[in-house]
Structure 1
Amino acid sequence: MVVNLNATAAHTLLMIAIAVLAGSVDAQIEDGWDVAHATNYGSMNGSETMQGACGYGNLTEQGYGLETTALSTALFNGGLRCGACYEIMCRDSKWCLNSTKPITIHVTATNFCPPNYTQPTGNWCNPPLKHFDLSQPMFRKIAIYESGIVPVAYRRVYCSKHGGIRFEMKGNPYWILVLVYNVGGVGDVTNVKVKGSNTNWVQMTRSWGQNWVTGAPIVGQSVSFQVTTSDGRMVESINVAPATWKFNQTFEGNQFK
């Protein structure tokens, strides 16, 4: 009886110790968090993070700055998650900064971390792994740089953007490619429609990343857009571009509240 009581007491103390060590991290993971790993790429100035598979250009000029991440195949979803925002924290590692009270960062998905199928193990961006390849400055906010890779907890969050949705007009008179960026709300655009002042609403096709294309004859007309995000919300920007708009110009529309 004494042995059984001591064993039970020891087990109880062990479980309490585990709970104390886990602290608020496990509590937060249960609150809508998921687990993944994170690495980093590029230098501290972030020049290597510019451009990328989402179609964005100069991330600093476009308002994303260095608060960005590339996503593995399992998260990137063929580019549909471009523009999505995530809250991330390092967990369960000696390499985490302030592991007793985790630091969280907020980043926007702007790039793709490609898989390497010739390296079936040790490549963290191979499916089905969920992985974030952060800009170096963001990685250093949550973990010690020399670690290389750390386990993280993450969750989707709303995107906090300054100003309205931006529409960059590219292409030629026969087809128009529109880069849609600086999107608030859930951030990831799933549908875009365009309307010239002399046309009805026309469905655009996602070309790649957040570049949307149409062959509708809207040159010389004022242009309106409908933007729908993955949560089903839609915002209209009426006559956002005047009839005198030119290619390579960017126009600012309404924003998700």
Structure 2
Amino acid sequence: MANVAVATEWQLLCNRYYRKPLLYQMRWRHIDLSRNKVAAAPFGSPVAIILDDSKIVQLYSESALRKLRIFSSSGTLLAETVWKNPGGRLIGMYWTDDLNLACLVQDGTVYRYNIRAELVEPNVSFGKECFEQNVVECIIWSNSAACVTEGGMVFCLVDFGDPQPSKLAELDLELEGDVLCFAVVEPKYVMSGSVEVLLGVAEGGIVVVEEDSVQRVKDIGGEPLGVVSKLSVSGDGKWLAAFTGDGQLLVMPADFSEIKFSCNCELCLQSR
């Protein structure tokens, strides 16, 4: 019977089996990750959690004040502070290379916290032009960040230590439709040495935005891409994974030369 129980832990995805073993129980209580924004630092480092203000949440017996909490990787509370920063809704947060928690809000301001939940000065801004629009999506990596505004403008900060925001080439939302997702190819992996932003748009395909150009990729090797709802770039900048609206997972080189791997995830789920 024990062997049968172990066998049921494995799930088939395409032609490979995977399982998620439970290593240990988290020590925190009343933490529902689905109702929080979460940022986990790499290599078993701290986990930051704050209630997601874009969702309707049910508070337990805790104070109604919204708190930023920092836990160890096992769920032990290390520090917390009341979130009272201006600038609108919290769009995203990420641990930087120097283990500061960068938090980007709607008006383009980046607030940084250390592991003791203390605010690190000075705050960083994407500039006046970004301030005048609402940021709707952001990606923070290393000590850098990129964001997309409601008007389809893309801004980048390549170094929090030397904040000089730049605006990339403008996107025509009337032509492309709403931005559904985006990913970033870091400057060190781009021949031009500038950041490259990849956007999945409602009209289908991927839009590549650089400092002075916008390119639309509609198909890969003659195969139409369709609507892309999720994008992810590999750690070495060489590969791109795209999840399409019809349930296809596609893996391709970052130059879009061919599709190396494809999987119909809906069929995989139906076969389970």
Q: Same fold (TM over 0.5)?
A: no
TM-score w.r.t. the length of structure 2 is 0.26
Higher RCO structure, 1 or 2 (CA under 8 Å, sep 6+) = 1
TM-score w.r.t. the length of structure 1 is 0.27
Name whichever structure is richer in helix by fraction: 1
